[in-house]
Structure 1
Amino acid sequence: MKYFGNGLSELHKELNTIIRKADKLEEAKTLFFELHSKLHVSSMTGAEQNETDSLLGDLMPSEYRIMPTSKDETIAWVLWHIARIEDLTMGILVDRGGQVFDSSWKRQMNVHISDTGNALSDDEIMELSAGLDMKELIAYRNAVGQRTQDIVKSLSADDMKRRVSAQGLEAVKQSGGVTDQEESLWLLDFWEKKDVAGLLLMPPTRHVILHLNDCGKWKQHIRDNKKCFRRA
């Protein structure tokens, strides 16, 4: 069931059909910016209010930190996860530079990990969720989103077909973006198979649509006063 993202899958499909066509480069970028902006709170671009604002804008601090069922994570974990993956893939793999995340952001967000959170246990997810400063996490995600848009503006048609490099994947690992656990390391194998266009179609777009839809589902579960598995 769809809880978030009305019309976004259609935009994504349209982007997928043109993103590797050299003569459609600027059209593809415009479409990417439209889609990507809708997946961030409007303060990231200064655009009009959107569905992400509606999803996150009225959440109580405690609602970020609820694990609705034993099969779920928390909204706090999702926002951390999608921000870290976008930061690592866009900054290191696409731009071949660095990431936004640093010791200052780590301190401001009050986190003790640097990776994407893929391998965390339920206890570790709850610990992360309980400690995260949500205002700073959203500010970090905004900074990542702004940098993504700057990176995409500079891409050429040739860039879109450039494969992810072994050096980039090693840089992600060395940065602490993934851990040595199998549930985390598989990300490197997944990204290794991508070109730049493939990355744009997943970490900052499709991946986010799926996770924010989960957040919409969980928000409804919580607001319907249904029994929840764990609360921080």
Structure 2
Amino acid sequence: MDKNQRKKWNENHKIFRECTLIPERHKEAVHVLQTLHSFLHVSIDSLNSKLTLADDLLENLEGETFRQYPVSTPDTKNSIAWHLWHMTRIEDMTMNILIDDNKQVLHMSNWLEQMNIPFTHSGNDMSVEEITLLSSTINLNALLEYRKSVGKQTQEIISRLIPGQFRMKIDQKKINRLFDEHALQKKSQWLAEYWSKKDIGGLFLMPATRHNFIHLNKCIRIKNKLKQKV
């Protein structure tokens, strides 16, 4: 991702933030949001013809690089495996529970079995031992398919939004579902409190777009640093 692409993405993110405040700009907000979000998933599902940030990460991504933990970078020591799984879980639970009040993609198929992991939560506040286990055992292809399904579902949710919905607050019952379904650990109460203060537009601004953007960039930095050591 070059500087111009980064600048354009950030500019569109700012435009989307402005549009969420004005119901009359709903169609524009939806279009910009779909474009922002699609750039964070593989290009086969993208609205853009150019390569996406996710494509950039996955190009020539080797298994050893994917699983390496811990890593030594300024902003994270977690593996690419953990980051990809974490951002996908966050998108799944925030979009499908907090916004759509529906079933998580994780539970629409036997994704845990396919990914070969026991964790249903977001990955926040995990122990070193848990991150080590996830990084060493998770199935990359299954994780990528799960992420693809989550991305498709988010695009569908975006397409069903109605004017004024971006300003709607999150019902506490939906927050409670995060813990009832073990999407968040009890010790991650801080994250539920953070989301409970957001409106729907705010959840699209951070978990669905900016959060993925941040973690994908971390993954690319990890990948590039590990490649330099070879």
Contact 1:3 1:213 in 2 (8 A): no
Shift, 1:175, TM fit: 0.8
**Residue of structure 2 equivalent to 1:209:** 213
Work out which of the residue numbers 39, 53, 63 in structure 1 matches 2:55: 53
Amino acid aligned to 2:11 = E
Contact 1:20 1:157 in 2 (8 A): no
The C-alpha deviation readout for 1:146-197, integer Å capped at 9, x for no partner, is 101101111112221110111000111111100112xx22110011001101
The C-alpha deviation readout for 1:91-148, integer Å capped at 9, x for no partner, is 0110111211126111011111100111112221121011111111011011111101
Q: Give the Cα separation in 1 of the matches to 2:129 and 2:4.
A: 27
Contact 1:161 1:195 in 2 (8 A): yes
Shift, 1:3, TM fit: 9.0
Contact 2:35 2:47 in 1 (8 A): no
* Structure 1 range deviating more: 27-36 or 102-111: 102-111
**Residue of structure 2 equivalent to 1:25:** 26
Q: Give the Cα separation in 1 of the matches to 2:21 and 2:48.
A: 27
Compare the two structures and name the one with the higher helix fraction: 2
Unpaired runs of 5+ residues, structure 1, are 227-232
The C-alpha deviation readout for 1:56-103, integer Å capped at 9, x for no partner, is 121001111113228411111011101001000000110111211126
* 1:88 equivalenced with 2:89 (yes/no): no
Work out which of the residue numbers 157, 180, 199 in structure 1 matches 2:186: 180
Higher relative contact order by CA 8 Å / sep ≥ 6: 1 or 2? Answer: 1
**Residue of structure 1 equivalent to 2:146:** 140
Unpaired runs of 5+ residues, structure 2, are none
* TM-score normalised by structure 1 residue count: 0.90
Shift, 1:47, TM fit: 4.9
**Residue of structure 1 equivalent to 2:203:** 199
Work out which of the residue numbers 144, 156, 165 in structure 1 matches 2:162: 156
SS in 2 for 1:97: coil
Work out which of the residue numbers 101, 105, 112 in structure 1 matches 2:106: 101
| 1:5/1:72 CA distance change after superposition, 3 Å | farther
Q: Give the Cα separation in 1 of the matches to 2:53 and 2:103.
A: 30
Q: Give the Cα separation in 2 of the matches to 1:140 and 1:46.
A: 19
**Residue of structure 1 equivalent to 2:72:** 69
Q: Give the Cα separation in 2 of the matches to 1:223 and 1:22.
A: 47
Q: Give the Cα separation in 2 of the matches to 1:25 and 1:218.
A: 37
Q: CA RMSD in A?
A: 1.9
Q: Give the Cα separation in 2 of the matches to 1:172 and 1:76.
A: 23
* Structure 1 range deviating more: 117-126 or 171-180: 117-126
The C-alpha deviation readout for 1:179-232, integer Å capped at 9, x for no partner, is 112xx2211001100110110101110111111111111111101108xxxxxx
Q: Give the Cα separation in 2 of the matches to 1:104 and 1:51.
A: 27
Contact 1:163 1:194 in 2 (8 A): yes
Identical residues among aligned pairs (%):
34
Corresponding residue pairs, total: 223
**Residue of structure 1 equivalent to 2:122:** 116
